[in-house]
Amino acid sequence: MKLEKRDLVIRPRRLRRTDVLRRLVRETHLHTDDFIAPVFISAGENKKNSIPSMPGVYQWSIDRVNEEIDELLAAGIDKIILFGIPAEKDSTGSDSYSSNGIIQQSLKKLKQEYPDLFIITDVCFCEYTDHGHCGVIENKDVHNDSTLSLLGQQALSHVEAGADMVAPSGMMDGMVGEIRFALDSGGFDHIPIMSYAVKYGSAFYGPFRDAVESTPQFGDRKSYQMDPANIREALKEVELDILEGADIIMVKPALAYLDVISHVKDISNLPVACYNVSGEYSMLKAAAEKGWIDHDSAMMEMLLSMKRAGADIIITYFAKEAAQLIKIKK
């Protein structure tokens, strides 16, 4: 048979014809090991408080948080990041660096019960201060350098209580270097720092602030969190954190910042994490509740897009559900 020119047309659809073929040429795969699950721990007893703006996410008291950990482990998630809601908040957020603070108590208990669970702590002040800002206030703004030494103290006390990695999220200049110095001086030079290097001042944190009751009592966080319009500034933040000794670099939020994830991946050899934040979670939950979108496929598509953009690690409230789905498909 003689070939006509039109028969030589290139046909990308050939590789999309069947599921097995699509799997063969798939470029990005989600794995349970990609995920870190956030866990909220609140002072008090016998608590499993639902968070209205985050369906499926709870504030747990220390005595009941094992219910959540057991479910995560059963799904295959063995990495968590802890957030604390203390009994009392004050002007410097002292619960966050007290050896008897909510996070320190949780760490001691969890490490005893689950020695293999990898526990990361969020290192910041907004959940612990009565004004809701991420540090010490002077002249109606967070004072960078007086916050730094407290950040060092907080990180060290987390690690002394058993944290496997610390994740500073306050966007203070010099925070990674300060924490590295505090940990090394305390004999913890083997503990890595995952820096929220690029954290934008985002409306997508709204539901999280309900979860930890950390809405600023005055003003906003724009004098320390980044302007969503900027990407070159993000690269500057990444370079600085690398120089200060960060081990993992994070971009946050994720979904509206996939371009940032991709740029950060290009300029750095460190593992890149992203934080699929509360607002991104709640938007999908709300639309799915209304029957407007297919929850599971939209969830997997969102997570996949973060990985495709370059994220090696995804912190997500979907961790358990996504891991369960991955398991079923296997």
327 in active site: no
Among positions 53, 92, 96, 169, the unique one binding ligand PBG when judged by CB under 6 A: 169
Which of 79, 89, 252, 320 is catalytic? The answer is 252
Q: Using the rule CB under 6 A, is 155 a contact of ligand PBG? A: no
Strand partners, 199: 252
CB 125 within 8 A of CB 94: no
Cα torsion angle, 66, 71, 74, 76, sign? negative
Q: Judging by beta carbons within 10 Å of its beta carbon (0-12, 13-18, 19+), is residue 44 exposed, middle or buried? A: middle
109 in active site: no
Among positions 62, 72, 85, 124, the unique one binding ligand PBG when judged by CB under 6 A: 124
Q: Using the rule CB under 6 A, is 35 a contact of ligand PBG? A: no
- The label of the residue with tokens 């669970």 reads 117
Strand partners, 36: 315
- The least distance separating ligand PBG from the CB of residue 312, rounded to whole angstroms, comes to 19
Binding positions for ligand PBG, 258-277, rule CB under 6 A:
277
First-to-last alpha carbon distance for the chain, in angstroms, is 44
Chain Cα centroid distance, residue 96: 18
- The least distance separating ligand PBG from the CB of residue 100, rounded to whole angstroms, comes to 20
Compute how many other C-beta atoms are within 10 angstroms of the C-beta atom of residue 86. Answer: 22
Q: Using the rule CB under 6 A, is 82 a contact of ligand PBG? A: no
Q: Using the rule CB under 6 A, is 109 a contact of ligand PBG? A: no
- The least distance separating ligand PBG from the CB of residue 49, rounded to whole angstroms, comes to 17
Binding positions for ligand PBG, 195-234, rule CB under 6 A:
205, 208-209, 214
Among positions 278, 300, 318, 322, the unique one binding ligand PBG when judged by CB under 6 A: 278
Q: Judging by beta carbons within 10 Å of its beta carbon (0-12, 13-18, 19+), is residue 6 exposed, middle or buried? A: exposed
Q: Which residue is nearest to ligand PBG (CB)?
A: 208
Among positions 80, 126, 151, 258, the unique one binding ligand PBG when judged by CB under 6 A: 126
At 140 the three-state DSSP class reads coil
At 283 the three-state DSSP class reads helix
Mind telling me the catalytic residues?
199, 252
Interface contacts to ligand PBG, rule CB under 6 A: 122, 124, 126-127, 169, 205, 208-209, 214, 277-278
